[in-house]
Structure 1
Amino acid sequence: MASPAIESGALVTLSELDPSSSFFKLGASLRVTGKLQEYSLETAIAIITDGGAILKIDTQHLRDLGFRVGSIYQFIGELIQPDNEAILQARVGRNVDGIDLNLYHQSLQLLRQFQADHMNNSTT
């Protein structure tokens, strides 16, 4: 029996993860980036921020990833509690110190614009 395919993580900003967002649903596979605000070794919960947005990350399945408050991290995983408080169950995590978050957000907007234009052109 074949295992179910693991979906790629949709690129989202933390500010897009509000209850009205199409990304905010149980099991949604997401890729998020933010600055580490807090990390608890006992609970394996990391809290990342980007602008005014905050997201909890469950890191219990990650190995060999050292956490430093103030560093920037990117995580890929699934939302596990979208009805109450969003928590991302991370399956991949990496330190991305040195990334320019403003430039990252701009490139994400350009990518989405390109994808929308490409979809419009392929339907005509």
Structure 2
Amino acid sequence: MASLEIKSGTLISLHDLHPSSPFFKQGASLRITGKLREYSIEACLATIVDGDDILQVSTEHLRDLSFQVGSVYQFIGELLIQPDNEVVLQARVGRNVDGIDLNLYHQSLLLLRQFQANHLNNPETM
């Protein structure tokens, strides 16, 4: 019987999402933030960017979320990897996070990873 457990989205940046990344796995549950570059209502497909990094986000399961190009959004969902290594995040949660300082957000991600690495390798420091 398949597990019906919904996994929390691992907090990553778009820069972390590449084929050699440990996060680049079929069905990986991820939380990703980026600026909306374009949105297709017909295809339910958002394109988000962060610097030079781009990701397609399927929004077919999202309700009551209006999209505005140029706004910053955060999505939680599962990664779908196509045979040509093209990826789409199948979003199950989405929210507008305008006002977030993306540089500070990236710094906090680095600090979080350092903290986790230190405490996972040395559990008695917790």
Match of 1:33 in 2: 33
Q: Which amino acid aligns with 1:13?
A: S
> What is the TM-score normalised by the length of structure 1?
0.94
Q: Which runs of 5+ in 1 are unaligned?
A: none
1:111 aligns with 2:112: yes
**Superposition CA RMSD, Å:** 1.7
Q: Which amino acid aligns with 1:85?
A: E
- Structure 1 CA distance for aligned equivalents of residues 117 and 20 of structure 2: 21
**Percentage of matched positions with identical amino acids:** 69
Number of residue-to-residue matches in the alignment: 124
How far did 1:121 drift?
1.8
Q: Which amino acid aligns with 2:29?
A: S
How far did 1:25 drift?
1.0
How far did 1:67 drift?
0.1
Match of 1:97 in 2: 98
Q: Which amino acid aligns with 2:113?
A: R
Task: Note the alpha carbon deviations across 1:30-57, whole angstroms, 9 max, x for none.
Answer: 0000000000000000000001000000
- Structure 2 CA distance for aligned equivalents of residues 10 and 88 of structure 1: 13
How far did 1:122 drift?
1.1
> What is the TM-score normalised by the length of structure 2?
0.93
